[in-house]
């Protein structure tokens, strides 16, 4: 079997680690997370929703002591692909920064290939100016601490996140993309597809988690990403009501799944099934969508190429 990359969720108690996991991977409503109990042991979970989103998440309780001899941190960090450190932006974050520095330096000694990601979390309660100021301050202090320790070569990525909007899904998308070895191939395929089809923007989504595993090289706009997420929810919800047989057999999302939504700004949202777990969501101008036959033909070629990428991966895994 394939060795799954490991994502560690770390941070102080009550920083929001378990809430992030429940909202992104278990479709829990953000309001329901208020009733989650504090994590008191390491929780491991396999996320094997699709051919590409395939990893383990380890949720660590905030009170873990790295100096405890019973804690084998070397074994844990050795198999880790990404380490997400969650900082509560509405709390005094000096203790969190000290823990971040300790965690990163320990992990880097064991495994220099870990991607270090910092989620500046719970920013929904801050004004726009305060968000920018908080991010700048945390970024500066964390990097200064590493520079003082002579570890400038460690790169930290920072994200402003909240479970009450789509920022947490976008941040997780960026983290997961770094763990997908086929990412350059997928991005190249999307670039070829949109340039030959007159499409403005295209995302390749994991339908279950609403993480986008690849997009073309044009910049990602938050509003565009939110519209894609809403569209996927609409398609799945309507399919669950009307798409199943009377006895409830079948799946709400299959190779016939497709959707077209026309927005009032002359843009068309177009969703097509790529694999059992992946969907392509495109933004097309109305005048370009008149050549829907061309788009569908190019999509057929794109879909075939994605399946070939997947087959190559399976052969590598088996060998």
Q: What is the pLDDT of residues 161-206, one digit of tens each?
A: 999 998 999 999 999 999 888 899 999 999 999 999 999 999 999 8
**Residues 272-285, mean pLDDT to the nearest whole number:** 91
Rounded Cα–Cα distance for residues 146 and 30 (Å): 34
Q: Please tell me whether residue 9 adopts helix, strand or coil conformation.
A: strand
The pLDDT score that the predictor gives to residue 250 is 65
pLDDT of 76 above 50: yes
141: domain CATH number is: 3.40.50.300
pLDDT of 121 above 70: yes
Instruction: With beta carbons less than 8 A apart as the criterion, state whether 81 and 5 touch.
Output: yes
Q: How many CB atoms lie within 10 A of CB 152?
A: 10
Question: Are 165 and 254 contained in the same domain?
Answer: no
**Residues 51-76, mean pLDDT to the nearest whole number:** 77
Which of 63-72, 98-107, 232-241, 306-315 is the least confident region? 63-72
Question: Are 121 and 200 contained in the same domain?
Answer: no
Question: Are 214 and 160 contained in the same domain?
Answer: no
Whose structure tokens read 């938050």? Answer: 222
**Residues 132-136, mean pLDDT to the nearest whole number:** 94
The answer to whether residue 270 sits within a structural domain is: yes
DSSP assignments along 126-169, one per residue: S-HHHHHHHHHHHHHHHHHHHHHTT-TT--EEEEE--TTSTHHH
256: domain CATH number is: 3.30.450.190
CA angle, residues 298, 299, 301, in degrees to nearest 5: 65
Question: Are 19 and 137 contained in the same domain?
Answer: yes
Question: Are 58 and 136 contained in the same domain?
Answer: yes
Strand order in the sheet with 55-59: 43-47, 55-59, 6-11, 80-88, 115-121, 156-160
Q: Please, which pLDDT band fits residue 148 given cuts at 50, 70 and 90?
A: very high
Question: Are 39 and 139 contained in the same domain?
Answer: yes
Q: Please, which pLDDT band fits residue 247 given cuts at 50, 70 and 90?
A: low
| Mean pLDDT of the residues in the chain | 87
The pLDDT score that the predictor gives to residue 1 is 41
Number of structural domains found in the chain: 2
Q: Please, which pLDDT band fits residue 49 given cuts at 50, 70 and 90?
A: low
- Residue among 24, 21, 51 nearest 278 (CA): 51
Chain centroid to CA 268:
25
Report percent pLDDT > 90 for the chain: 53
Which of 35-49, 256-270, 287-301 is the least confident region? 35-49
pLDDT of 142 above 90: yes
The pLDDT score that the predictor gives to residue 201 is 94
The pLDDT score that the predictor gives to residue 64 is 74
The answer to whether residue 67 sits within a structural domain is: yes
Question: Are 94 and 189 contained in the same domain?
Answer: no
The answer to whether residue 134 sits within a structural domain is: yes
Instruction: With beta carbons less than 8 A apart as the criterion, state whether 202 and 218 touch.
Output: no
121 phi/psi in degrees, rounded to 5: -100, 165
The answer to whether residue 1 sits within a structural domain is: no
Contacts of 282 (CB under 8 A, 6+ apart): 194, 197, 199, 200, 201, 202, 203, 269, 270, 271, 272, 295
Instruction: With beta carbons less than 8 A apart as the criterion, state whether 15 and 62 touch.
Output: yes
Rounded Cα–Cα distance for residues 21 and 172 (Å): 10
Question: Are 205 and 145 contained in the same domain?
Answer: no
The structure tokens listed for 90 are 């509405």
- Residue among 178, 183, 4, 6 nearest 107 (CA): 6
284 phi/psi in degrees, rounded to 5: -130, 140
Question: Are 169 and 225 contained in the same domain?
Answer: no
Q: Please, which pLDDT band fits residue 26 given cuts at 50, 70 and 90?
A: confident
Which of 74-83, 187-196, 235-244 is the least confident region? 235-244
- Say which residue, 43 or 235, is predicted with more confidence: 235
Rounded Cα–Cα distance for residues 70 and 310 (Å): 40
Whose structure tokens read 């000290």? Answer: 98
pLDDT of 51 above 60: no
The answer to whether residue 157 sits within a structural domain is: yes
The answer to whether residue 262 sits within a structural domain is: yes
pLDDT of 13 above 50: yes
The pLDDT score that the predictor gives to residue 48 is 67
pLDDT of 227 above 70: yes
Structural domain range at position 46:
6-179
Question: Are 102 and 250 contained in the same domain?
Answer: no
The pLDDT score that the predictor gives to residue 3 is 62
Among candidate residues 179, 213, 247, the one where a domain is terminated:
179
Among candidate residues 159, 179, 199, the one where a domain is terminated:
179
Question: Are 73 and 215 contained in the same domain?
Answer: no
- Say which residue, 122 or 254, is predicted with more confidence: 122
CA angle, residues 62, 65, 69, in degrees to nearest 5: 150
160 phi/psi in degrees, rounded to 5: -90, 120
Question: Are 162 and 200 contained in the same domain?
Answer: no
CA angle, residues 251, 281, 289, in degrees to nearest 5: 115
**Residues 125-136, mean pLDDT to the nearest whole number:** 92
The answer to whether residue 282 sits within a structural domain is: yes
The answer to whether residue 23 sits within a structural domain is: yes
Among candidate residues 155, 179, 203, the one where a domain is terminated:
179
Handedness of CA 209, 210, 216, 222 (dihedral sign): negative
Q: What is the CA radius of gyration of the chain?
A: 21
**Residues 4-28, mean pLDDT to the nearest whole number:** 87
């Amino acid at each position: 079997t394939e060795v799954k990359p490991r994502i560690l969720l770390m941070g102080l108690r009550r920083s929001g680690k378990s809430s992030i996991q429940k909202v992104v991977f278990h479709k829990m409503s953000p309001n329901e997370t208020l009733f989650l109990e504090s994590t008191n042991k390491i929780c491991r979970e396999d996320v094997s929703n699709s051919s590409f989103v395939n990893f383990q998440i380890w949720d660590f309780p905030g009170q873990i002591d790295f100096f405890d001899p019973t804690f084998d941190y070397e074994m844990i960090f050795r198999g880790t692909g990404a380490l997400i450190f969650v900082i509560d932006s509405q709390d005094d974050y000096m203790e969190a920064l000290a823990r971040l520095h300790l965690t990163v330096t320990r992990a880097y000694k064991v495994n220099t290939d870990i991607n270090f990601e910092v989620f500046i979390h719970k920013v929904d309660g801050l004004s726009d100016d305060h968000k920018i100021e908080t991010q700048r301050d945390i970024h500066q202090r964390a990097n200064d601490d590493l520079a003082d320790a002579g570890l400038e070569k460690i790169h930290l990525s920072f994200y402003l996140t909240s479970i009450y909007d789509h920022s947490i899904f976008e941040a997780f998308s960026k983290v997961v993309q770094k763990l997908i070895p086929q990412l350059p191939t997928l991005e190249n395929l999307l670039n070829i597809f949109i340039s030959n089809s007159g499409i403005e923007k295209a995302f390749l989504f994991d339908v279950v988690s609403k993480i986008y595993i690849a997009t073309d090289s044009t910049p990602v706009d938050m509003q565009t990403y939110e519209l894609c997420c809403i569209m996927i929810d609409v398609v799945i919800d309507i399919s669950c009501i009307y798409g199943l047989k009377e006895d409830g057999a079948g799946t709400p999302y299959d190779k016939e799944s497709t959707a077209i939504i026309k927005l009032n700004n002359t843009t068309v949202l177009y969703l097509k099934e790529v694999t059992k777990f992946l969907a392509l969501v495109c933004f097309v101008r109305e005048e370009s969508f008149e050549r829907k036959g061309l788009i569908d033909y190019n999509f057929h070629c794109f879909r075939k190429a994605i399946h070939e990428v997947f087959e190559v991966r399976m052969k590598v895994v088996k060998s």
